Structure 1
Amino acid sequence: MKDHDQPSPQKHCWSLDGLTYASLAWGPADGRPVLATHGWMDHADSFRELGPRLTDCRVVALDLSGQGLSDHRSPDATYNLWDDLPQMAALLDTLGWEKCTLVGHSRGANINSLFAAAQPNRVNAVIALDALVPDPVADTAVVDTLRAFIEDTRQQTTRPRRSFTSKEDYITRRSERRNSRQTAEALVDRAVVETPDGFRTRADARLFASSAMKLTRPQVEAVLRSLTMPVLNIWADKGLPAYTDWPAEARRLAESLAPDYEALEIPGDHHAHLDPAGAQRIATAILDFLARKT
């Protein structure tokens, strides 16, 4: 599929537990249900290349809370990995989906693994892109984590949103932070909003704060054991595995603990699914996996 052949997504907004969630959707209304969740500081446009390539699927890609066009959470709320899980369940109810396939990238993949472990009856397969489960912390880290959560949250609450003189300024800044220019260009429209003083980021600054709690290794292992549905984990050779040791360890743990786990490595960076060639490789792998496993 060439870029100029890409169908325009359908735009939707959902009211879920008092929060408005924006989304983009591709594919026939009666297609295989697929819920897609993006990475940290991304949004639904992260799936603009992959979504339309998942033929015969109804792909609904969310802007998770505090990102893209979705609502920010209330001033007393948080952005822990699990905070969107009740709204994801509510969206499945709203869509009338008894079960769905979860496709997640980076932070979204971690969120999906938590949802699938806790709600296995609602998930028929998990597709995790360049992540799987969060990097665990030591059992003794609880006090330091709480301290960082309190201090970071107070600091970010009073911090002005980042501003840019132009969309090009945002693209350049993001391109300097392990993102290709192609990725930055794909994400800019939903990431910033124009104001009289230029462009400012839409994302809630509290997303930069530490979580209140983080999972320990035994908890991560419990999540992996609970992924009873088929799991396809696609890693990019120049993605997270190139920067940290955790992906290799997460993959090793999943191979020994998750009941039905497959891993695949493809060429590309952390946003390989936003590159047309990478998106096609990933779509082919996903469709083959779903045909074999579900």
Structure 2
Amino acid sequence: MGDETGAAQDCVWEVDGLRLAGRAWGPRDGTPVLALHGWMDHADSFQELAPRLAGCRVVALDLSGQGLSGHRAAHATYNIWDDLPQIAELLDLLGWQDCVLLGHSRGANIAGLFAAAQPGRVRALIALDSLVPEPDPDETIVTTLTAFIEQTRKQKARPPRLFPSTEAYIERRTAQGNARRTSEALAERALAPHPDGVSLRGDPRLFARSAVKLKQADVEAVLRAWRCPVLNIWATEGIKSKRPVLAQLAARAGELVMTYETAELAGDHHFHLEPGAAGQIAEAVLAFLDRHGCR
């Protein structure tokens, strides 16, 4: 059971007829924290950070189509806003009127959209190595829709990715730039047994383009809509170091968000899976929540 010892509890919910899975840490009466993972990750992304958030009840969700959660129906999509109604429903099932939203990467972007659309349900927003969806200044709605249709059809027809062994999956992630420790930590929940080795659980449709890309005005509207305090923690070797537009967004957030604090910690994009960095993140998060009366 999830308790003060750091042990995790496996959780399952049903939302809109879809099985959602997750993990929970901490006392049931602790500060409610809903944790949202990055693209093609899952709830175990928070296995180092969540137990360090003392006094918090951290529920980490496997977003639909990832981890142990079910895949969406054949007619459905995985646009970033498709998760928002499911998050609202999950908060209802948990009995949480509001919560702290903790998001990493794509999960931070989803959390940011939710905090803008449902400000009364978010008492604080913690964004790890991302903040909001990147605006696309050049691509037109027509080219985006074309790619969305073609890629969705292609990915829908693609069988799950196979690996001859768990080690092969770990080596693949490592070759793509993840630390070996990160790759090992994420392997179990990302893979399913297969007669030819292991298969990737993630829905291939997650690789397809979104139907719409937000523009700069849309992103700024999201930033202006936040009513909760925001803590944005970046990794020194994370995605901001590779995408200058994210540095620009962080600077814009400092101008538009009522209460915006930012920090940078040593590590790569999955720094929250490194014990040392996870301890630093937890310390910063707890101090932030206390400073703003969110616990």
Residue 231 (structure 1) shift: 0.1
Q: Give the structure 1 partner of residue 47 of structure 2.
A: 48
SS at match of 2:51: helix
Counting only pairs closer than 5 Å after superposition, residues 121-270 of structure 1 correspond to structure 2 as 121-138=120-137, 141-270=140-269
TM-score by length of 1: 0.97
Give, in whole Å, the separation in 2 of the partners of 1:140 and 1:282: 36
**1:42/1:67 contact within 8 Å kept:** yes
Q: In 1, are the aligned partners of 2:6 and 2:26 still within 8 Å (CA)?
A: no
Indicate how the Cα distance of structure 1 residues 139 and 120 shifts in structure 2: closer, same or farther if over 3 A, else same. farther
Gaps of 5+ in 2: none
Q: In structure 2, what is the equivalent of residue 65 of structure 1?
A: 64
Written as runs of structure 1 = structure 2, the 5 A alignment for 1:264-283 is 264-283=263-282
Percent of matched pairs sharing the same residue: 58
CA positional deviation for 1:68? 0.2
- Number of residue pairs matched by the alignment: 290
How far, CA to CA, are the matches of 1:67 and 1:231 in structure 2? 26
- Residues in 2 aligned to 1:282 and 1:96: alpha-carbon distance in whole angstroms: 27
Runs of 4+ in structure 1 off by over 6 angstroms are none
Is the CA contact 1:16–1:87 (under 8 Å) kept in the aligned structure 2? yes
> 2:6 corresponds to which residue?
7
- Inter-partner Cα distance in structure 1 for 2:234 and 2:135: 19
SS in 1 for 2:136: coil
Shift of 1:140: 5.5
| CA-atom RMSD in angstroms | 1.1
TM-score, normalised by the number of residues in structure 2:
0.97
Equivalent-residue separation in structure 2 for 1:265 and 1:208 (angstroms) = 29
Match for residue 76 of structure 2? Answer: 77
Task: Go from structure 1 to structure 2 and tell me whether the alpha carbon gap of 1:162 and 1:285 turns closer, same or farther (over 3 Å shift).
Answer: same
Further displaced range: 198-207 or 246-255: 246-255
- Aligned residue for 1:83, secondary structure, equals helix
After the TM superposition, which of the residue ranges 86-95 and 105-114 deviates more from structure 2? 86-95
Cα distance in 2 for partners of 1:183, 1:33 equals 26
Deviations 1:156-190 (A, max 9, x none): 11112111111000000000111000000000000
Verify the 8 A CA contact 1:162 1:201 in the aligned structure 2: yes
Contact 2:239 2:269 in 1 (8 A): yes
Deviation at 1:6, TM superposition (A): 6.8
The Cα shift of 1:7 comes to: 2.9
* 1:101 counterpart letter in structure 2: V
